[in-house]
């Protein structure tokens, strides 16, 4: 690390103003929860790198009438302050998945070498020179988040964002309605997230002619996901037939065990 970069990599701990206002991922509950869990290990050294992984497909031919989609996979260091972490010089282009079609569930095959390196940085670390202290240290890295749109979320997480149970937050409790003439699902139940005394919960005429008395669904915990994956038959990567949708929802809406 250069001297300037080294000081910025400690910004989230040394110079960030903690006033309850969200300006940076370091202000989030997820970041603070992570720090509490690994307070005596990873989080004890502010120079250890917190990463976000961003990926999405795009057509490099712009508006030309060509069907082609390639997928860059970018790592973003969130140790840096907000005016730097999203600047292009600090992005790491780890790979470009070539087209001409979306990799779909097979994206895990391309991500395997990157995930292996990230695991090595988490468990072992890398010997790194700190230009500020003029000493070497063992730098570790953690992948904190993925950044993607909803279709790419399905590819990275393994939870299908199509069909009856498309919402990964509501999971089995997704409120869905099949549109006979539109021939697609629409998703209802948004009033469940309102406070109990909100007037829209009692409003029938503007919604589906029913009052809403249900509580908001509880999202899946990590233990819930592990339990659901225990009996899941892993997807076979490559050019295979699409798995038939499970009408009994035996595997909920999972389509694969994600490499993440």
The total number of structural domains that make up the chain: 2
| C-beta separation of 166 from 160 below 8 A | yes
| Strand positions, DSSP E, 79-193 | 92-97, 126-130, 135-139, 141-147, 176-179, 184-187
Position 48 scores a pLDDT of 96
Same domain for 57 and 131, yes or no, is: yes
Judge whether 202 lies within some domain: yes
Same domain for 66 and 128, yes or no, is: yes
Overall pTM surpassing 0.95 (yes/no): no
Judge whether 247 lies within some domain: no
50-74 average pLDDT score: 86
Position 63 scores a pLDDT of 65
| C-beta separation of 53 from 74 below 8 A | yes
Same domain for 12 and 128, yes or no, is: yes
How large is the C-alpha radius of gyration of the chain? 22
> Considering only 28-37, 48-57, 196-205, 250-259, which range has the smallest mean pLDDT?
250-259
Same domain for 85 and 187, yes or no, is: no
| C-beta separation of 49 from 139 below 8 A | yes
Return the number of other C-beta atoms located less than 10 Å from residue 19's C-beta: 7
178-194 average pLDDT score: 93
Same domain for 83 and 123, yes or no, is: yes
- The answer to whether residue 62 scores a pLDDT higher than 90 is no
165-179 average pLDDT score: 92
Judge whether 254 lies within some domain: no
114-128 average pLDDT score: 96
**Distance (Å, rounded) from C-alpha 15 to C-alpha 5?**
14
Q: Where does a domain end: 131, 149, 167? A: 149
- Tell me the backbone φ, ψ of residue 190, rounded to 5 degrees: -65, -25
| C-beta separation of 68 from 61 below 8 A | yes
Q: Which domain does 196 fall in, by range? A: 175-216
Judge whether 208 lies within some domain: yes
Judge whether 235 lies within some domain: no
* Confidence label for 142 from pLDDT (cuts 50, 70 and 90): very high
- Tell me the backbone φ, ψ of residue 228, rounded to 5 degrees: -70, -35
- The answer to whether residue 45 scores a pLDDT higher than 60 is yes
Same domain for 34 and 140, yes or no, is: yes
Same domain for 183 and 135, yes or no, is: no
Position 246 scores a pLDDT of 54
Position 65 scores a pLDDT of 72
Strand, helix or coil at 55? strand
């Amino acid at each position: 690390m250069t001297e300037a970069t080294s000081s910025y990599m400690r910004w989230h701990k040394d110079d960030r103003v903690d006033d309850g206002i969200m300006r940076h991922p370091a202000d989030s509950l997820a970041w603070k929860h992570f720090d509490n869990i690994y307070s005596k290990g990873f989080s004890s050294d502010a120079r250890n790198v917190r990463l976000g992984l961003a990926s999405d497909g795009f057509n490099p031919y712009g508006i030309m009438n060509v069907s082609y989609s390639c997928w860059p996979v970018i790592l973003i260091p969130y140790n840096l302050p907000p005016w730097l972490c999203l600047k292009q010089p600090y992005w790491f282009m780890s790979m470009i998945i070539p087209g001409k079609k979306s990799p779909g569930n097979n994206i895990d095959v391309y991500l395997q070498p990157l995930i292996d390196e990230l695991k090595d940085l988490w468990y072992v670390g890398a010997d790194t020179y700190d230009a500020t202290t003029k000493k070497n240290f063992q730098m570790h890295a953690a992948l904190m988040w993925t950044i993607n749109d909803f279709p790419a979320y399905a590819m990275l997480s393994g939870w299908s964002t199509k069909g009856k149970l498309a919402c990964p937050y509501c999971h089995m409790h997704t409120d869905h309605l099949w549109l006979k003439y539109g021939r697609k699902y629409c998703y209802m139940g948004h009033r469940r997230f309102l406070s109990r005394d909100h007037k829209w919960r009692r409003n029938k005429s503007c919604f589906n002619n029913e009052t809403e008395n249900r509580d908001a669904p509880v999202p899946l915990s990590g233990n819930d996901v592990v339990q659901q994956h225990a009996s899941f038959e892993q997807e076979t990567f490559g050019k295979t037939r699409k798995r038939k949708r499970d009408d009994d929802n035996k595997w909920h809406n999972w389509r694969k065990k994600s490499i993440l």
